[in-house]
Amino acid sequence: MSGKPRLTYLNGRGRMESIRWLLAAAGVEFEEMYLETKEQYDKLIKDGFLLFQQVPLVEIDGMKMVQTRAILSYIAGKYNLYGKDLKERALIDMYVEGIADLMQMILMFPFSPPDAKEKNLDSIKERATNRYFPVFEKVLKQHGQDFLVGNKFSWADVQLMEAILAVEEKVPAVLSGFPQLQVFKTKMSNMPTIKKFLQPGSPRKPPPDAHYVETVLKVFKK
Amino acid sequence: MSGKPKLYYFDGRGKMESIRWLLAAAGVEFEEEFLETREQYEKLLQGGSLLFQQVPMVEMDGMRMVQTRAILSYIAAKYNLYGKDLKERALIDMYVGGTDDLMGFILMFPFLSAEDKEKQRAFIVQKATSRYFPVYEKVLKDHGQDFLVGNNFSWADVHLLEAILMVEEKKSDVLSGFPQLQAFKARISRTPTIKKFLEPGSQRKPVPDDKYVETVRRVLRMYYDVKAN
């Protein structure tokens, strides 16, 4: 047993990617086990690893953690990325939850039927540009600090960075109206742990492709 | 300004109900402003009170909090319903994640067509009895304690009771295979603050009806075409 957290998921982004980002940002090395077949998944359930029969699963500190938010909150708390008090934690939670709503749209996108893809892409662009990015642009402008909350690097910054890059993959010029976010993106990219995660060969997963979608449907088939 | 938390939402359950439950369980009195018209909602939007243009919104401790999970976590921590350390918090978060997923299936129920409602009812009961209830049944059986986590009343207990009652509204005998949960339900319902919340005249909201659905659709101009799971 290596003592490193062990992630069990498909070999792709999905709901595990935010966890990979946060561990990486915290400078924590981790191992991964990839689900490729339904049999592997059924065995995990049978062996009692998955509390609610679902992945992500992260084995960390003697716990078999499930539920993405629970895992992220634990990591943030453990590695001091959750603010200095209850109010900062509240702000981080608000920001992170808002971004999660945007990320959910991106998560589901590869699974939308072909005739809905254009509409869904437009929704992602609309929400990012009109609902989410303006909020963070304003937060950064108003306090003039490098980080979203409490003048300190936190989970909120990691989550926003992940979201910016994910949206840019779909809408390349999306940051054109957001100068603060452009600066934020550059600053985050230069942070050592994040810089490392953005380099080839890191545990970061590529955008979902047809093979990933196929694997998801196969592994979780009822 | 009364100092009490003020809740902004429709006069109905939706995403705000878990917040009402938790405040009530913590013995915290709160005020409510009910959205009835599009104009009220637009006024809130223009006033900049809704960070992501959405409700629930709760004014408390000088903050205008949005995002249900953020609000619930803040209340849980403030009123010592979040365990004693990081590991207990992790357990509570996991358990609440499960009951949240279960209640999520029920959240959209009122917006479905009559045909989809039947389909969804079966889906809810199936998930409750095969995926969620067995987990909490086993947790309680394994440690034999009154509460889910750390032998102390927590957010996880409040959330589970809320979920149990909501599923029972869809199938009244759904707890028949779960003796631990039956005892849990009786025990937690007897907790003074919860007992009070379960009595008529409390701020607990009734099962959503057509009027509620109509109000939400009118105010938000959304949810006209919701599909079953």
**A31-59: average pLDDT:** 97
pLDDT of residue B2: 62
On whether any CB of chain A is under 8 Å from the CB of B89, the answer is: yes
On whether any CB of chain B is under 8 Å from the CB of A85, the answer is: no
ipTM: 0.96
Residue A2's pLDDT band, with cuts at 50, 70 and 90, is low
Of the candidates B25, B24, B6, B7, the one whose C-alpha atom is nearest the C-alpha of residue B15 is B7
Does A212 have pLDDT greater than 70? yes
Q: Name the residue in chain B with its Cα closest to that of A77.
A: B86
pLDDT digits (tens, 9 = 90+) for B107-129: 999 999 999 999 999 999 999 99
Q: Say if domain A86-191 classifies as CATH 1.10.10.10.
A: no
Does B165 have pLDDT greater than 60? yes
pLDDT digits (tens, 9 = 90+) for B35-56: 999 999 999 999 999 999 999 9
Mean per-residue pLDDT over chain A, rounded: 97
Long-range contacts of B223-228 (CB under 8 A, 24+ apart): B223/B108, B223/B111, B226/B108, B226/B111, B226/B112, B227/B112, B227/B116, B228/B112, B228/B116, B228/B117, B228/B119, B228/B120, B228/B123
Q: What percent of chain A has pLDDT over 90?
A: 98
Domains with residue ranges and CATH for chain B: 6-79+198-220 (3.40.30.10), 86-190 (1.20.1050.10)
pLDDT digits (tens, 9 = 90+) for B184-214: 999 999 999 999 999 999 999 999 999 999 9
On whether any CB of chain B is under 8 Å from the CB of A143, the answer is: no
Does A178 have pLDDT greater than 90? yes
Q: What residues contact B192, with CB distance under 8 A and at least 6 apart? A: none
Kindly state the DSSP code that residue A129 receives in the 8-state scheme: I
Residue with tokens 């550059």: A186
Residues A35 and A215: their CA atoms lie apart, in Å, by 9
On whether any CB of chain A is under 8 Å from the CB of B138, the answer is: no
Does A1 have pLDDT greater than 70? no
Does B229 have pLDDT greater than 90? no
**Contact check, Cβ <8 Å, B70/A66:** no
**Contact check, Cβ <8 Å, B87/A77:** no
pLDDT of residue A222: 79
Does A87 have pLDDT greater than 70? yes
- Record: fold of A6-79+198-212: Glutaredoxin (3.40.30)
**B126-142: average pLDDT:** 98
**A106-120: average pLDDT:** 95
**Min CA distance, A115 vs chain B (Å)?**
17
Query: Where in chain A are the domains?
Result: 6-79+198-212, 86-191
Sheet holding A57-60, edge to edge: A31-35, A6-10, A57-60, A63-66
Residues A90 and A92: their CA atoms lie apart, in Å, by 5
Count of residues in chain A = 222
**A65-89: average pLDDT:** 98
Q: Are B141 and B182 in contact (CB under 8 A)?
A: no
Q: Are A82 and A92 in contact (CB under 8 A)?
A: yes
**Higher model confidence: residue A35 or residue A2?**
A35
Mean per-residue pLDDT over chain B, rounded: 97
